[in-house]
Structure 1
Amino acid sequence: MADWATLQTDIVGIIVSKLAIPDYLRFRAVCTSWNHVCKDVSHCPRVDPWLMLPPNPNPLGVQFFCIPERKNQSIRLPSTASFFESVWAPVGSLNGWIIYFSQTYGTMQLVNPITGKQIQLPPIGRRAFSKAKLLEMNERNFIVAVLYGDEKGYKITRKGSNNWSSVESKHILDDIIKHRGRLYTCDMYGTVEMWAEPPRAWPDEEVTHQWKFRCLLETPAGDLIRVKRVSQNKFAVWILDHETFSWVETENIGDFALFVSHYNSFCFPAKDHLNLKTNCIYFIDVHNNLCAFNLEHATKELVETLTIGPVRNDHYRHRRPQRDQILWFIPSLK
């Protein structure tokens, strides 16, 4: 073990960059020498997209499915007794943090399952809502918004606030995102609106069922993307042209992959990741299978048949089909 302490840091850096975060944590925990060497290395472990499976009474912890490695990861969360009694339900995620809601207590908290950090949010009440979105999460600030499926507008809170502020809208909202310092929303009719002066709105060009799935997400390159599920196994994608302020439909998102679900969606660079497909949309189909929709060829491919256990939480079980109870998650050490 002592020889590892004298190993060149650039070599250790190469090793670290090949490790997924769970393997990196195990690597670092082997001995004091390895831990010190890891701290001196500027390289970061590999980051992969995970699928957080619905809660179940698993004694090993919460189950995540790593997409590139095609295997489950079990993570023990803080306050495990409360989580496994299904008092808390995961309802959103961003930058390695998960939003947990307790309908029993009418409270929310942010949890990083990798580091074990927790942040308590102001009480919000026991009323069921449609979606909670973590709009920003960094060392300086966090912003959380809550959308209601039967009420216009949204509620929002941020770091340092001890309550929730209410914001009105013309219609019930499907999604909300922070992009380039401004908020964008998509309502039940597919209209996307930028919350800034002068106000701008983009109606959905196609008249569709008002409850059809839609979401907004940002690419690592800084583009805003609108996604609509046009049928059970087919999606359409538009990119916002900031020069003309118009939406341009596309069948090519380059080396990225989109991961979409009711509670959260994100764009991920897929080119250099094992078993990830570029220019695809990853989603859960009606049979609870993990699938990839190829944008160029408009075809669906089975990625993995998921084993989803029973869901015990009432807030979860009675509101959404099982495929919509799944969170996409990117682990983070911050």
Structure 2
Amino acid sequence: MYSLSEQRAYTITLPDPPMARRFLIGSSHGWLVTADEKSDLLLLNPITKEQMRLPPVTTMEHIKPIMSGDGVLEQYEMSYYHGLIFPQVEEPTSTYRLDRYRETVYSKAVLSSDPSTGDCTIMLIHQPYWQLSFAKVGGQTWNWIATETDYTDCIHHDGWFYAVNIEGTIDSFYLNGPSIIHKRIAYQMLMPPKMVVYIVQAPWGDKLLISRRSRTLDDNTDVTSEIMVYKVDPDNEKLINMTGIGDHVMFIGNNASLCLPVSDHPQLMSNCIYFTDHAVQSLFGVKNNKRDMGIYHLESNIVTDIVSPELWMTWLPPVWLTLNTSKTSHPRTQCVE
């Protein structure tokens, strides 16, 4: 772990299953969302060493377990349909080994709150078609949201999840009532192609969309070439181009996207965006490539290294983490020993 505030590296010991055998698909409230070798999801607090299991993969909408003759789980079968197809049109299915499923299907996961409090929901962006499913931490099943496709990012704010797709369509979801409440905030405000679009809650109250473009170098390494920041104007359903974010800093990647005032974090660089690789499943075939990670300066449109020489490995891809020292005490949460 590398501390931005202290500008020094730490080595910590993490519990089994070994981190090198997992995927990292999210970071929220000081917890990492990881996928083990059976592609089941576990939450891990690397500071307190606590872990929580999430509902099994086999409870997801598009997944059917394939068992051996002895009743042992051997593979997952995924069906291809989404909520905009009525009636559902079944296409040929795909089968995956237990450990290979996570390479293709998981995109990003975001928590509503600190799960150590016992009342937390996780939103998952996943294949097929980059759809949404959610689950309660401590619950038994995943719940599919049959709506839009091609989501790239999601945040939680004031009881609502906000998800954005590749075209800048923003949907909000309230999940704490007897049924899902879905409201469309804006529709198709960006013209593809965009590599990744993020949604960020600004401390001053606005919602921001972040468009991130990349280019491929001669060695087949992808590097970030441009990051644009837009303010969302929901009343007029348009985006306002921002030249900067002033005395604030952003963090984007596989973490829950953040915007923070530099006055609270003087070691960080203002009017900058700290970024890491985003879609882990697209990196599996290029594990040894240099990771796309750095500081994007909005005023000059240049990228600088966070530290030189870089300290992190190429795999697992780095992820931003805010530390959380809270111990789990709520009876609804279940930790893995």
Give the TM-score taking structure 1 as reference length.
0.67
Q: CA deviation at 1:93?
A: 0.9
Task: Report Cα offsets for 1:49-85 as digits up to 9, x if no partner.
Answer: xxxxxxxxxxxxxxx1112322211222223xx215x
Mapped partners of 1:68, 1:329: distance in 2: 12
Quick check: 1:233 aligned with 2:225?
A: yes
Q: 1:91 to 1:300 in 2, by over 3 A?
A: same
Name the structure 1 match of 2:191: 207
Alignment of 1:207-286 (within 5 A): 207-209=191-193, 212-231=195-214, 232-241=224-233, 246-284=238-276
Q: What is the rounded CA distance, in whole Å, between the counterparts of 1:74 and 1:169 in structure 2? A: 43
1:107 shift after superposition: 1.7
Which structure carries more helix by proportion? 1
Alignment CA distance shift 1:149-1:307 (3 Å): farther
Alpha-carbon separation, structure 2, partners of 1:195 and 1:72: 38
Structure-2 separation of matches of 1:275 and 1:98: 24
Matched with 2:8 is: 71
Contact 2:249/2:269, CA 8 A, preserved across alignment: yes
Partner residue, 2:48: 115
CA shift for structure 1 position 142:
1.1
Residue 101 (structure 1) aligns with: 35
Are 1:134 and 2:111 matched, yes or no? yes
- Amino acid of the residue matched to residue 41 of structure 2? M
Match of 1:42 in 2: none
CA pair 187-243 structure 1, distance change in 2 beyond 3 A: closer
Determine whether 1:333 maps to 2:267.
no
What is the one-letter code of the residue matched to 1:159?
A: V
Q: Against the structure 1 CA distance between its residues 187 and 273, is the aligned structure 2 distance closer, same or farther, given a 3 Å change threshold? A: closer
3-state SS in 2 of match to 1:68: coil
Quick check: 1:83 aligned with 2:18? Answer: yes
Aligned partner of residue 18 in structure 2, secondary structure: helix
Deviation of residue 198 (structure 1)? 7.5
Q: Provide the C-alpha distance between the structure 1 equivalents of 2:47 and 2:24, rounded to a whole number of angstroms.
A: 15
**1:261-304 deviation per Cα after TM superposition (whole angstroms, max 9, x unaligned):** 14543223323535311111112489546422222333333332
Q: Distance in 2 between matches of 1:269 and 1:73?
A: 25
Number of residue pairs the alignment of both structures matches: 254
Match of 1:194 among 153, 165, 172: 172
C-alpha distance in structure 2 between counterparts of 1:291 and 1:160, whole Å: 36
On the 8 A contact 1:259/1:266 being kept in 2, the answer is yes
CA distance in structure 1 between the aligned counterparts of 2:297 and 2:2, rounded to whole angstroms: 21
Query: 1: CA distance between counterparts of 2:124 and 2:276?
Result: 23
Distance 1:326 1:303, change over 3 A: closer
* Change in CA separation of 1:300 and 1:330 when aligned onto 2, cut-off 3 Å: same
Check conservation: 2:155, 2:256, Cα contact below 8 A.
no
C-alpha distance in 1 between matches for 2:161 and 2:40: 24
Which residue number corresponds to residue 184 of structure 1? 162
SS in 2 for 1:271: helix
Give the conservation status (yes or no) of the 8 Å contact 1:265–1:328: no
Q: Where does the alignment leave 5 or more consecutive residues of structure 2 unmatched? A: 59-97, 175-180, 215-223, 278-288, 327-337
Residues 90 and 206 (structure 1), Cα distance of their counterparts in 2 relative to 1, 3 Å cut: closer
The Cα offsets for residues 210-257 of structure 1, whole Å up to 9 and x where unpaired, read as 5x1111122344442211114533211123346666543322323220
Is contact 1:114–1:333 with CA below 8 Å preserved after alignment?
yes
The answer to which of 153-162 and 236-245 deviates more is 236-245
CA–CA separation in structure 2 for the residues paired with 1:90 and 1:172 = 20
Letter aligned with residue 256 of structure 1: H
Aligned to 2:123: 145
Change (3 A) 1:193 1:71: same
Deviation at 1:154, TM superposition (A): 1.4
Between 1:284-293 and 1:163-172, the stretch displaced more is: 284-293
Matched AA of 2:21: V
Instruction: Tell me which of 300, 305, 328 is aligned to 1:302.
Output: 305
- Which residue of structure 1 aligns with residue 68 of structure 2? none
Stretches of structure 1 that go unaligned for 5 or more consecutive residues are: 1-63, 317-324
- Please name the residue that 1:161 is paired with: 139
Are the structure 2 counterparts of residues 170 and 242 from structure 1 closer, same or farther at C-alpha, using a change threshold of 3 Å? closer
Provide the rounded CA distance (Å) in 2 between the counterparts of 1:168 and 1:304. Answer: 43
Pick closer, same or farther for the CA change 1:74–1:219 going to 2, 3 Å. Answer: farther
Aligned to 1:37: none
